Chain A
Amino acid sequence: MGLIPDFKKIATRSPWLYRINAGSCNGCDVEMATTALIPRYDVERLGCQYCGSPKHADIVLISGPLTVRVKDAVLRMFDEIPEPKVTVAVGVCPISGGIFRESYAVLAPIDQYIPIDVNVPGCPPRPQAIIAGVAKAIEIWRERL
């Protein structure tokens, strides 16, 4: 009986991150990689780690304006991520479409298909801004767990 709250306490320390590229130009993806891999920014101080499989993820970072071709794949992958999940939209593309707004090839804003929790605007956002977004997402995630 006493073990269950302890597990919860341990689990809330380390959310795993998962990236979805919904037709991004790769600018935001490079910044996300920078956030995690370069010791200068080091998102792992917050207990986060990038994982390769959507089934292990807790926090999802989505970049790109959701192009028409990639829509089905993104929605299928998003369904595979177990609840509770927190979604972070990185860059202006998933939030509003950015410069691709009102194009026939993109379905932005992405929040009409996927529930988004935190927005990090920028083209691309600074690594520090992504860290701020992840920190905000962790707060929301702890409330949900």
Chain B
Amino acid sequence: MNFLTIFARNLRQGPQTEAFPLGPAFTPERLRGRIEFKAESCEGCRICERVCPANAIRFAKTPDGMTFDCWHNTCVFCGNCEFYCPTDAIHQTNDWDLTHVNADKFEMVEHGLIPNQKCADCGATALNTAPVIKNAKPPLSDAEYAELRARCPKCRAKYLKNRKVPS
């Protein structure tokens, strides 16, 4: 009689096969897939380039600033870059469908640019990276953050040093 219960259950539930090529696929929310880079929150520390086991991430200095490139065709989706990123500038999305024809092989790149800027204090050219404010006490307000961001690294250190700390 056991087969009758199985038969009834199969009639009720339908096939277990995923409908994928004809319908949407089940995707876990935290699946490690395509990498996403937010240039505005990058600190420029380049730790992701260092910890990447497949050398998929490469930073390069150009006249416009510093470029970030992650080639998904050599990325092994280990998640080291996201784990070590101090400012959450790198995020792994759950987009897994990276299938492409061979002609598009070198276009599977996540590209980002950290632009150059002129320092608001001394006028020197420096990268517009996100400032390191983890240890700033008390925490910076939004206006202070914008002021800090507009400066070069040396002037940022000066700014933090001369900052009035209410006692």
Q: Name A residues whose Cβ lies closer than 8 Å to a Cβ of B.
A: 39-42, 45-46, 89, 92, 95-99, 101, 111, 116-123, 125-126, 128-129, 131-133, 135-136, 140
Contact of A98 (CB < 8 Å), options: B20, B54, B105:
B54
Compute how far the CA of A26 lies from the CA of B15 in the bound complex, rounded to whole angstroms.
29
Residue ID in chain B nearest A99 by CB atoms: B54
Closest 10 pairs (CB-CB, A-B): A123-B76, A96-B74, A128-B25, A99-B54, A132-B99, A133-B99, A95-B73, A116-B102, A121-B98, A96-B73
Contact between A119 and B77, CB atoms less than 8 A apart = no
User: What is the distance, in angstroms, from B30's C-beta to the closest C-beta of chain A?
Assistant: 14
User: What is the distance, in angstroms, from A131's C-beta to the closest C-beta of chain B?
Assistant: 6
Take A101-B74, A121-B72 as given contacts and tell me if A129 and B18 are in contact as well, using a CB distance cutoff of 8 Å. no
Compute how far the CA of A67 lies from the CA of B150 in the bound complex, rounded to whole angstroms.
51
Residues in chain B near residue A97, CB distance under 8 A: 74
Contact between B76 and A117, CB atoms less than 8 A apart = no
The interface on chain B, measured as residues whose beta carbon lies within 8 A of the other chain's beta carbons, has a size of: 28
16 residue pairs bridging A and B, Cβ less than 8 Å apart: A45-B17, A95-B74, A97-B74, A98-B76, A99-B54, A101-B74, A119-B73, A119-B100, A120-B99, A121-B75, A121-B99, A122-B77, A123-B76, A129-B96, A132-B21, A140-B101
Compute how far the CA of A119 lies from the CA of B71 in the bound complex, rounded to whole angstroms.
14
Does B44 sit within 8 A of A, measured CB to CB? Answer: no
User: What is the distance, in angstroms, from A37's C-beta to the closest C-beta of chain B?
Assistant: 12
Residues in chain B near residue A140, CB distance under 8 A: 101
Which of B21, B73, B99, B100 has the largest number of chain A CB atoms within 10 A?
B99
Contact between B15 and A39, CB atoms less than 8 A apart = yes
Compute how far the CA of A112 lies from the CA of B118 in the bound complex, rounded to whole angstroms.
46
Binary A-proximity of B66-105 (CB < 8 A = 1, otherwise 0): 0000011111111000000000000000001111111001
Residues in chain B near residue A128, CB distance under 8 A: 18, 20, 25, 96-97
Which of A39, A96, A97, A140 has the largest number of chain B CB atoms within 10 A?
A96
Contact between B18 and A41, CB atoms less than 8 A apart = yes
